[in-house]
Structure 1
Amino acid sequence: MIHLTKIIAAILVLLAIALGGYAWILSRQPAPPPPVAATAPTTSSSKAQVPTFAVVVTAKPVAAGHAITADALRVEQLPINPSGAFKDSAPLVGRVPVFDLGEGTPVLEGQLASGLAMRVEEGERAIAIKADEIMGVGNKVQPGDFVDVFVILKSDGKDVDRSQARLLLPRKRVLAFGSASVDSLPSKAVDGNGNPTAQQQQRNDLPRTAVLAVPVADINRLTLGESAGRLLLALRNPLDTTLPDPALLAALPAALQPPPSKRGELARPPLEGLDSAQAGLTTVDLVTGGTVAGRRAAAENRINTTPAPRSSGSGARAGFEVEMIRGDKSETLRY
């Protein structure tokens, strides 16, 4: 029994010596490097994961007032996503910027032309005329409707039979009526509480103007008709596309005539579009139709309704006076 105890004690002593030697060997080995090198890849990977956004930018300078072409746009990946930016260039083709855009500039919605001007077709102009409940078909006219414009030309009380009413402009598109317009039509639905919607409240406000899309050559007719008489709008079905035959009536002469053609030159074609608008129109031709007989009748009417010519003793040239009545206003014109 004593021998067994000695053997176990000797084994334990040897084991302690072995463990002490192993500990001494480990203490002699160099210390491991700091963990900085392990974190370096993590930092670089975080930089590579910065989010980017697809944004349409200009590939070349674009001037204000000119349509954007497809080759003037490209899509870039940017670290920012500006408000109003576009991801695809297709919706931007044909849009018009309101100011110059340099190369590489992100194209934003606020930089592009919008509003009522974008609803005017080529060759048309948006013209505002005075409106009231009678003129606007009891305020039932809405933006987007088509109307016929009639003019009423009233003569004085002594010559009522010379008053006339006729179609001035057929099938014109209404761009705006009062505060409502085709580019910002309010909702037609009522709310759950039965309160009037924005559109109903808008109708309750009496409109004072109506904006029509008119060919530029017809603007003279509209402006003269409004100044010389009273305009009325006749609401028509948008599917009704019938128009009067312009060949049935003679064209009205222009206020400014082009110079005559020289010998050997071809006759100049009739004025159209902007040229016709620039040539202008006179009130007497609008009223009489521009015929010689109509002008003669208008001159006789002025002579018959004129009280007396001005005296030439004052040094002024003798002439005629015509009183024009528009509603409750009276104006005397001297010729």
Structure 2
Amino acid sequence: MINLTKIVAAVLVLLALALGGYAWMLSRQPPPPVAVAPPAAAAPGRASQAQTYPVVVAAKPLPAGLPIPPDALRIERLTINPVGAFQDTAPLAGRVPVIDLFEGTPLAEGQLVSGLALRINEGERAVAVKADETMGVGHKVRPGDFVDVFVMLKSDGKEIDRSQARLLLSRKRVLAYGSASVDGQPSKIDKNGAAQQPQRTEPAKTAVLAVPVDEINRLTLAENSGQLLLALRNPTDMSEPDPKLFAQLPPALQPPAPKSGEARRLPLEGLDRAQAGVTTADFVTGGKPLAIAPRGAAIAAAQAQAPAARTGNAPRAGLQVEVIRGDRSETINY
């Protein structure tokens, strides 16, 4: 019995050694290759397709500076979606490229005119004037407001009675005031959902107005010859002065007289009126003729009129300003 137990134990030991050796041999062998399944797109009966995007492209060359006609655009499906690209042609009709675009070029927002120029109506121009706290209604003017522009003309610091102030432009739209503009980004929203007003880092120094092109000459002369003042008005107030009550200023450049047999030319308007311009003297006097005399005669005439004016025996014939240029003196009546 004892011998049989020894024999069984010896067999078990040999079997354990054999299994250990077999396991060691298996650990020395490389792992079997893993079979890779073919991709689903390559499976038989399924065609691989790349993702595409609808993009508006130029159907023909688009020159810079000219409005885009509606038939000059088409939609193509591209494998890329450019930043700022359009998916519809409707918003692009009439837009103006800033660079020449070739046929097939995708249109993007950065290639088109944008900003303040798009807020100007036909026949208007954006003009900047100097602004400060007094001129700009205590810096209460905001883009989109309507203002009246007054001008103050001083003849001499010692002759206050000969100065004049008058309405220059009526109901003009403010396009920008300082850093704020009608084409600016919308106000930021705070954590409570309320709109935050943009904070100004410095006081406004300019105001940009939308002015008809034939009125820019008078605005330019007024800013250089006097002091401008903006008067804020309610946008629902449509009242304006009647131009028929006042004589139109004569142009600085006179058009040639019509030839024999030609019809009488119409008064200058728009760009033609702006091209003709206006002189400072006509702007100050309202187009009245100037009285030019030597310096001595002008002084003698002024001295002769002074006593009568002080005593009230002679009627006052309007306000006068004496402009001295070298040895010549010009008396301006207004």
Residue in structure 2 matched with residue 221 of structure 1 by the alignment? 218
Following superposition, the deviation at residue 291 of structure 1 comes to: 2.2
2:180 aligns to what? 180
Asked if residue 269 in structure 1 is aligned to residue 271 in structure 2, the reply is: no
- Give the 3 Å change call, closer, same or farther, for CA 279–71 of structure 1 in structure 2: same
- Alignment match, 2:328: 319
In the alignment, the residues of structure 2 paired with residue 190 and residue 153 of structure 1 have an alpha-carbon distance, to the nearest angstrom, of 47
SS at match of 2:328: coil
Matched ranges for 1:95-174 at <5 A: 95-174=95-174
1:213 counterpart SS class: strand
- Over aligned residues, Cα RMSD in angstroms? 3.2
Deviation, 1:189, is 6.0
Aligned residue type for 2:261? G
For 1:319, give the aligned amino acid.
R
Contact 1:186-1:198 within 8 A present in 2 as well? no
Q: CA contact under 8 A between 2:293 and 2:329: conserved in structure 1?
A: no
1:78 maps to what in 2? 78
Q: Give 1:296 deviation, angstroms.
A: 3.5
In the TM superposition, what is the alpha-carbon distance from 1:62 to its structure 2 partner?
0.8
Q: Which amino acid aligns with 2:117?
A: A
Give 1:250's match in structure 2, choosing from 247, 250, 260. Answer: 247
CA–CA separation in structure 1 for the residues paired with 2:163 and 2:44: 88
Q: Which amino acid aligns with 1:284?
A: A
Q: CA deviation at 1:160?
A: 1.9
Deviation at 1:187, TM superposition (A): 1.5
* 3-state secondary structure, aligned to 1:222: helix
Q: Extract unaligned runs of 5+ from structure 1.
A: 1-34, 311-317, 323-335
Q: Which residue of the partner structure matches residue 328 of structure 1?
A: none
Q: Which residue of 2 aligns with 1:68?
A: 68
Q: How far has the Cα of 1:69 moved from its partner?
A: 1.3
Contact kept, 8 Å, 2:54 with 2:77, in 1: the verdict is yes
> 2: CA distance between counterparts of 1:164 and 1:280?
22
CA contact (8 A) 1:191 1:197 kept: no
Give me the whole-angstrom Cα distance separating, in 2, the residues matched to 1:44 and 1:77: 27
- Partner in structure 2 of residue 239 of structure 1: 236
Distance 1:309 1:135, change over 3 A: closer
Determine the C-alpha separation between the residues in 1 that align with 2:156 and 2:239: 34
Superposed displacement of residue 48, structure 1: 3.2
Match for residue 288 of structure 2 among 280, 291, 295: 291
Cα shift readout 1:226-270 (whole Å, capped 9, x = no counterpart) = 000000000011111111100000000001101111222111111
Alpha-carbon distance between aligned partners in 1 of 2:250 and 2:294, rounded to the nearest angstrom: 17
1:145 to partner: Cα distance:
0.4
Distance change >3 Å, CA 45–CA 82, structure 1 → 2: farther
Contact 1:288–1:298 at 8 Å: present in 2 too? no
Asked if 1:212 is matched to 2:221, the reply is: no
Amino acid at match of 1:254: P
Give the distance between the partners of 2:82 and 2:173, measured in 1 at CA: 37
Distance 2:56 2:210 in 1: 33
Higher helix fraction: Structure 1 or Structure 2?
A: 1
- 2:62 is equivalent to residue 53 of structure 1: no
Percent sequence identity over matched residues? 60
Q: 1:159 to 1:297 in 2, by over 3 A?
A: farther
* TM-superposition CA deviations, 1:71-93 (whole Å, max 9, x none): 00000010110000011111111
Please give the TM-score of this superposition, normalised by the length of structure 2: 0.74
Q: Secondary structure at the match of 1:234?
A: strand
Equivalent position SS for 1:263: coil
Is 1:259 aligned to residue 256 of structure 2? yes
Q: Normalising by structure 1, report the TM-score.
A: 0.74
Distance 1:55 1:227, change over 3 A: same
Q: Give deviations 1:40-79, integer Å, cap 9, x for gaps.
A: 9826877632100000001111111111111000000101
Letter in 2 for 1:51: Q
Alpha-carbon deviation of 1:197?
4.5
SS in structure 2 of the partner of residue 157 of structure 1: coil
CA distance in 2, matches of 1:124, 1:41: 60
The answer as to whether partners of 2:292 and 2:329 remain within 8 angstroms in 1 is no
Of the structure 1 ranges 258-267 and 182-191, higher mean CA displacement relative to structure 2 is found in: 182-191
Equivalent residues of 1:149, 1:234 under 8 A apart: yes
In 2, Cα distance between equivalents of 1:185 and 1:281 = 39
